[in-house]
Amino acid sequence: MEQYEPEHLSPARLAAMRRSLTTGRGALTRRSMLRASGMGALALGGLGALSACGIPPAKREGDAAAAFDDHSAREKRLSFSNWTEYMDVSEDEKGRPTLEAFTERTGIEVRYTEDINDNVEFFGKIKPQLAAGQNTGRDLICVTDWLAARMIRLGWAQKLDPANLPHAFANLSSQFRTPDWDPGRAYSYPWTGISTVIAYNSKATGGRKVDSVTQLLDDPGLKGRVAFLSEMRDSVGMTLLDMGKTPESFGDADFDAAIGRLQKGVDKKQIRRFTGNDYTADLSKGDLAACLGWAGDIIQLQADNPDIKFAIPAAGYLTSSDNLLVPAKARHKTNAEKLIDYYYEPPVAAQLAAYINYVCPVDGVREELARIDESMADNTLILPDKEMAAKSHPFRSLSSKEETAYEEKFARLIGA
Amino acid sequence: MTLTEAPPTPAAEPAGPPVRKPSARRRLVPYWLLLPGILWLIVFFAVPLVYQASTSVQTGSLEQGFEVTWHFRTYWDALRDYYPQFVRSLLYAGSATVLCLVLGYPLAYLIAFKAGRWRNLVLVLVIAPFFTSFLIRTLAWKTILADGGAVVDLMNTLHVLDVTSWLGWTESNRVLATPMAVVCGLTYNFLPFMILPLYTSLERIDGRLHEAAGDLYATPATTFRKVTFPLSMPGVVSGTLLTFIPASGDYVNAELLGSTDTKMVGSVIQSQFLRVLDYPTAAALSFILMAIVLLTVTFYIRRSGTEDLV
């Protein structure tokens, strides 16, 4: 290291200065230089970087930003992200019959990925790309109502072309046609309907029926063996119904009352946990005597454990759906639309419903389903009859502000 | 084979090693070698840390975006709203660490001094649970501790549950969804992190020290107290740190084995980030947790007076 040494100093002073720079505590060594400059840079850069950061608004400007060059004609491909166990599988568990038939008919290669386990997690996964206006690499995704509503609100979904969706347009059940977050289904089509009902293990309840949220919250015989769902809309929606309110139109006061009601259940240790999908194992073992559950799960559970029963509360039950969306900047929108339309052909829809056992949103499936399995066509959890459909209520869509406030209150309720 | 007298080595006595002035390139080698590590730390530690620090003082919403407004109140609000979860995290992580030490020390001692030819086998058994996923191992506890399961039945018969329920660790006649289940899960999941450092520092102790202690009329207990335990302190300290630090940030155990009143701060951070979408609060909570753990650990290391870990 070249050092600047003033010429007017005496040799002794120069030597002393050199010593001070090279040895001793104040030595100007490489390490101390590095340390000092590092600290300085960190301090300066830190402050600068701190204020330079910031998260830009997530909202994208309308369809102009969402739409993207459609490569469907040239690239006969499609990438489809779905939930686990949400697609029919052949008996040898190697193929997916309906998807394979689609590829055979249209020549469109489908890359099917089961990478959705949880709405909030999935949103966390795709958010960075969508917020930056980039392609997520997915052409079709399947998300629950509220997340679909949020994505449409943020301009992160592409508008679908009705010309490519003749079957879907004709066969969509009236129950699903006009959700308040996507009237007329301009952006989304339901993959399945979801009914939130009460499930109970009759062995664990001693043969008693559990058929109301009031019973879940107050029956001393169920103390500590009741679970609600960690999905805010399901737990609060069912409680609202039980209190005589309607989840499709309620206010802040109603919401707070429902939370208060659930809080009492937590405080007196009636409610054991708030669960995600894992309630199924607990219910089957009998650790949970009764809980809120999703109809499709319950049909699958019943196949293994005949003690599992379900009940539709007299006050009504909550319906929602998992919806197919084409995310912004997806490269193969037309291919995705073809796939949506394909699953709205009754024979295909029946084949899928027979396998996954969730509510089928397609009209005209009954005969097709009866051909596969007579008992399924009569199962109201798959094809709700008029009486049951009359009791179903959707949860209204929330503004971004409401969503944050409600989720915050619900998070407090469930302990986090 | 016959031993032959080795020929006397020629007195290769050079006039001292040649004094070589290290070239500039040579001197830079250590820095080049450090470069990947430093880059890694910058990209995956320093940058996210700065980003997170920035997020914690922002305000806004997902739709409007977040802007730095130096809103330090977030820290205070987060601490005020979620201090029970902080206290709980430290309490559970602390209990799990103590339990790990109590369970792990005898086992590490056994492996180091008594296992003989079984040593490697036992070590493999200690590590074996790592071959399955953390999640699966935790879920297995739900089966083991199930309400109607053998463990709970036995505890009921022996009236252990009456005692633990009286202490508030369990709930009437179940173990799942109680604080005890969470602490047990934490203890189980982090036990190997305690045993391995303990084993390495115990194994290094010279067996002759024990003989010497015996020769000086020390009872086995005194030998342990005066010789073995002090020499194993580095293992104790690093083991407790390796257990306590990850355990205090863990949320899987609280989420799966716990209930609403056993949630730890990890769950809060997760739910603020993913559910509530309140990124500033989540970032502030992370920083508070980091600060608390850092202070606790610094205090602990100072008190235990161990300079070299391991």
If you measure CA to CA, which chain B residue comes closest to A122?
Answer: B274
**Per-residue pLDDT at A375:** 86
DSSP B104-139: HHHHHHIIIII-GGGHHHHHHHHHGGGGS-HHHHHH
Statement: residue B309 has pLDDT above 60: no
Domain residue ranges in chain A: 62-191+322-380, 194-319+400-413
**C-alpha distance from A102 to closest chain B C-alpha (Å):** 35
Instruction: Answer whether B177 sits within 8 Å of A273, measured CB to CB.
Output: yes
The answer to whether B146 contacts chain A (CB < 8 Å) is yes
What value does the mean pLDDT take over residues A117-128? 90
pLDDT of residue A277: 83
Chain B residues with CB inside 8 Å of A407's CB? Answer: 275-277
pLDDT at B5 over 90: no
Which CATH number does B68-304 carry? 1.10.3720.10
Three-class secondary structure assignment of chain B: CCCCCCCCCCCCCCCCCCCCCCCHHHHHHHHHHHHHHHHHHHHHHHHHHHHHHHHHCEEEECCCEEEECCCCHHHHHHHHHHHHHHHHHHHHHHHHHHHHHHHHHHHHHHHHHHCHHHHHHHHHHHHHHHHCCHHHHHHHHHHHCCCCCHHHHHHHHCCHHHHHHHHCCCECCECCCCHHHHHHHHHHHHHHHHHHHHHHHHHCCCHHHHHHHHHCCCCHHHHHHHHHHHHCHHHHHHHHHHHHHHHHHCCHHHHHHCCHHHCCHHHHHHHHHHHHCCHHHHHHHHHHHHHHHHHHHHHHHHHHCCCCCC
Mean pLDDT of B134-155: 90
ipTM over 0.85: no
The pLDDT of residue B184: 95
Q: Which of B259, B269, B285, B287 to mutate to test the interface with A (most CBs of A within 10 A)?
A: B259
**Which of A47-51, A360-364, A370-374 has the least mean pLDDT?**
A47-51
> Does B69 touch chain A if contact means CB atoms closer than 8 Å?
no
* Nearest-by-Cβ selection for A54 from B68, B85, B278: B68
Report CB contact under 8 Å: A224, B268: no
Residue found by looking up tokens 């993959």 in the block: A191
- The answer to whether residue A153 scores a pLDDT higher than 50 is yes
What SS3 class is residue B206? Answer: coil
A281 contacts in chain B (CB < 8 Å):
142
Task: Give the count of beta carbons closer than 10 Å to the beta carbon of residue A212.
Answer: 18
Residues 188-247 on B with a CB inside 8 Å of A are: none
Q: Give the C-alpha separation, A37 to A95, whole Å.
A: 61
Q: Kindly indicate the confidence band of residue B304, based on its pLDDT and cuts at 50, 70 and 90.
A: confident
* Residue A24: predicted pLDDT: 52
**CATH for A194-319+400-413 (3.40.50.1950, 3.40.190.10, 3.40.50.300, 3.40.1010.10):** 3.40.190.10
Q: Where in chain B are the domains?
A: 68-304
Name the percent of chain B lying above pLDDT 90: 70
Q: Which of A331, A273, A276, A338 is nearest to A119 (CA)?
A: A276
Region A178-198 average pLDDT: 94
Residue A376 confidence class, pLDDT cut points 50, 70, 90? confident
Measured between beta carbons, the chain B residues lying within 8 angstroms of A266 are: 260-261
What percent of chain A stands above pLDDT 70? 86
Q: Write the single-letter amino acid at A391.
A: K
Tell me the two tokens of residue A286. 């009998």
Mean pLDDT of chain A: 88
Radius of gyration of chain A (CA): 29
Best of A35, A121, A153, A287 to mutate (most B CBs within 10 Å, chain B): A287
- Name the band, by pLDDT with cuts 50, 70 and 90, for residue A35: low
Q: Taking 80 as the threshold, does the pLDDT of residue B65 lie above it?
A: yes
| Model confidence pLDDT, tens digit, residues B74-88 | 999 999 999 999 999
The packing angle between helices A232-242 and A252-267, to 10°, is 100
pLDDT at A54: 74
What local confidence, expressed as pLDDT, does residue A300 receive? 87
Contacts of A154 in chain B (CB under 8 A): 62-63
pLDDT tens sequence across A200-238: 999 999 999 999 999 999 999 999 999 999 999 999 999
Which chain A residues touch B50 with a CB distance below 8 Å?
Answer: 46, 49-50, 53
Q: How many CB pairs (< 8 A) connect A and B?
A: 118
What's the predicted TM-score (pTM) here?
0.82
pLDDT computed for residue B25 by the predictor: 81
Q: With a cut of 60, say whether residue B282 has pLDDT above it.
A: yes
Higher pLDDT, residue B309 or B25: B25
Distance from CA of A146 to the nearest CA of B (A): 12
**Integer Rg of chain B from CA:** 26
Is A404 in contact with B54 (Cβ distance < 8 A)? Answer: no
User: Which token pair is B278?
Assistant: 């309140």
Region of B60 on the Ramachandran plot (φ > 0 left; ψ -120 to 50 alpha; else beta): left
CA pseudo-torsion sign A371, A374, A375, A379: positive
> Considering the domain A62-191+322-380 in this protein, what is its CATH number?
3.40.190.10
For chain A, first and last CA: distance in Å? 57
pLDDT tens, B27-43?
A: 889 899 999 999 999 99
Question: CA-CA-CA-CA torsion for A28, A29, A34, A36, nearest 10 degrees?
Answer: -30
